[in-house]
Chains A and B, each alone.
Chain A
Amino acid sequence: KAGVTQTPRYLIKTRGQQVTLSCSPISGHRSVSWYQQTPGQGLQFLFEYFSETQRNKGNFPGRFSGRQFSNSRSEMNVSTLELGDSALYLCASSLGDSWPKAFFGQGTRLTVV
């Protein structure tokens, strides 16, 4: 069974630009969550999607947005990039029931210069 696939693996962007990250969940999983991981803050929840609907959102500014498609693939977008957005962005896939056993992709390492 294929795991969670995130693309691209690495990105370097300039301040003020925008970026789109992609995530393909495990086959049969309908929930996709996004997390930001930094050395100082650890893993922080961005948002979760299930059947194309955002069910939960973390405490991030509106520059961070996401969506989910009918095939459960998800994208997240960060607009007007700031240096502090440099992080590892992780996507997690789960069945979407009340017991969120989540499996992570390899992550996208975003560097903002």
Chain B
Amino acid sequence: QKEVEQNSGPLSVPEGAIASLNCTYSDRGSQSFFWYRQYSGKSPELIMSIYSNGDKEDGRFTAQLNKASQYVSLLIRDSQPSDSATYLCAVSSGGSNYKLTFGKGTLLTVNP
């Protein structure tokens, strides 16, 4: 059973701080990694994708991938109250496997 694990939280940070969200996966063959943000009552929104080891930055978001440790993380700098949401980590094995396996999400609360 291929699994994706995330801390359920809630993770609470003050406004302006760095929020760090972590994800581990069990399938060593995984090739594509994604972070989605889901506001309460809404559908998931893709915010980051990463395919190779290292860091990828997009605005206030940085995704980090370490395939050897089977670990993906998302850093949110200068956190804002509008970042309060559930963050979902998703992993795909690629190749002929066209599905995403999701973690159960980490609830982030940014306090003003």
Where the two chains meet, the residues of B that have a C-beta atom closer than 8 Å to any C-beta of A are 31-32, 34, 36, 42-46, 49, 51, 88, 90, 92, 94-105
A66 to B101, CA, bound (A): 19
Chain B CB within 8 A of A58 CB:
yes
A33 and B99 contact, CB distance less than 8 A: yes
Contact partner, B46, options A35, A96, A102, Cβ 8 Å: A102
A–B Cβ pairs within 8 angstroms, 18 of them? A33-B100, A42-B102, A42-B105, A43-B90, A55-B96, A55-B98, A56-B97, A56-B99, A58-B99, A88-B43, A92-B100, A98-B31, A98-B94, A99-B32, A103-B46, A104-B36, A104-B43, A104-B44
Please name 14 further chain A to chain B contacts, defined as beta carbons within 8 Å, in addition to the given A43-B100, A106-B42, sorted by A numbering: A33-B99, A33-B100, A42-B88, A42-B102, A43-B88, A43-B102, A44-B102, A45-B99, A100-B94, A101-B32, A101-B46, A102-B34, A104-B43, A106-B43
A31 and B98 contact, CB distance less than 8 A: yes
Where the two chains meet, the residues of A that have a C-beta atom closer than 8 Å to any C-beta of B are 31, 33, 35, 42-45, 48, 50, 55-56, 58, 88, 90, 92, 96, 98-107
B99 and A104 contact, CB distance less than 8 A: no
The CB with the most chain B CB atoms within 10 A, among A35, A105, A106, is that of A35
A99 to B46, CA, bound (A): 14
A104 and B45 contact, CB distance less than 8 A: yes
CB-nearest residue of chain B to A42:
B104
Chain A at the B interface: SS class: strand
Q: A90-B43, A105-B43 are in contact. Are A100 and B102 (CB under 8 A)?
A: no
CB-nearest residue of chain B to A45:
B99
Contact partner, A50, options B88, B95, B98, B103, Cβ 8 Å: B98
A103 to B100, CA, bound (A): 12
A16 to B100, CA, bound (A): 30
A55 to chain B minimum Cβ distance, whole angstroms, is 5
B92 contact set on A, CB distance < 8 A = 99-100
CB-nearest residue of chain A to B88:
A43
B31 contact set on A, CB distance < 8 A = 98-99
